Amino acid sequence: MELKTKINAEEGKHDLVITREFDLPLELLFKAYEEPEIVEQWMGTKVVKLENKKHGGWQFETSDPNGNVVFQANGVYHEFVPNRKITRTFEMGNAPFDVQLEFLEFEPLTEDTSKLTMHIVYRSVALRDQMLKLPFKQGINMAHNRLQEVVSKLK
């Protein structure tokens, strides 16, 4: 099936653009970024802090079933214009990656559809490519782990 999400990452550049058209009115799309309980559901992480205003901070945290924090991310809002725009920084905790800058633009297409354009700027080309490859590497790791599980059951 064709993915509705498009990624434009030109070679040799230190930024990328993610675009997605939603089968949702603009207000509902924006609400998904505004309300902590909803963010938790679709991001699959716990929202520790979400201060929806200029200079407000945000913080996400994901724990494994034993309560160990496995993912942590945080940042600050530089712009928070309801139904239009969010400018924020994004930084992963306990990871050797420099902070990234994100511009999120929300626009209506029709009464029932809307579009999100996410422009992410990284410190360097190398860092962008590294971040792009993270899910790719995780996918390989997961495949390895699954393989290991299967193999260990055979013993």
Partner 1 sequence: MNLRRDVFQAIADPTRRAILLLVASHSMTAGAIAANFDTARPTVSKHLQILIECELLAQEQNGREIYYHINAKKMKEVADFIEPFRKMWDDRFNKLEAIMKNYKPRK
Residues 6+ apart with CB under 8 A from 27: 83
How near is the Cβ of 55 to partner 1 at its closest, in Å?
26
User: Please, which residue, 8 or 63, has the CB nearer to partner 1?
Assistant: 8
Maximum pairwise Cα distance, the chain? 58
User: Please, which residue, 54 or 137, has the CB nearer to partner 1?
Assistant: 137
* Three-state secondary structure string covering 67-100: CCEEEEEEEEEEEEECCCEEEEEEEECCCCCCCE
How near is the Cβ of 80 to partner 1 at its closest, in Å?
18
How near is the Cβ of 111 to partner 1 at its closest, in Å?
15
Question: What span, in angstroms and rounded, lies between the C-alpha atoms of 92 and 117?
Answer: 21
Pick the stretch among 11-19, 51-59, 80-88, 99-107 that binds partner 1 (CB under 8 A). 11-19
How near is the Cβ of 65 to partner 1 at its closest, in Å?
21
User: Please, which residue, 42 or 53, has the CB nearer to partner 1?
Assistant: 42
User: Please, which residue, 134 or 147, has the CB nearer to partner 1?
Assistant: 134
User: Please, which residue, 7 or 69, has the CB nearer to partner 1?
Assistant: 7
Nearest to 9 by CA among 141, 151, 127, 154: 127
Question: What span, in angstroms and rounded, lies between the C-alpha atoms of 85 and 94?
Answer: 28
**DSSP, res 141:** H
Which residues make up the interface to partner 1 (CB under 8 A)? 3-7, 9, 11-12, 18, 20, 22-24, 28-29, 31-32, 38, 41-44, 116, 129, 132-136, 138-139
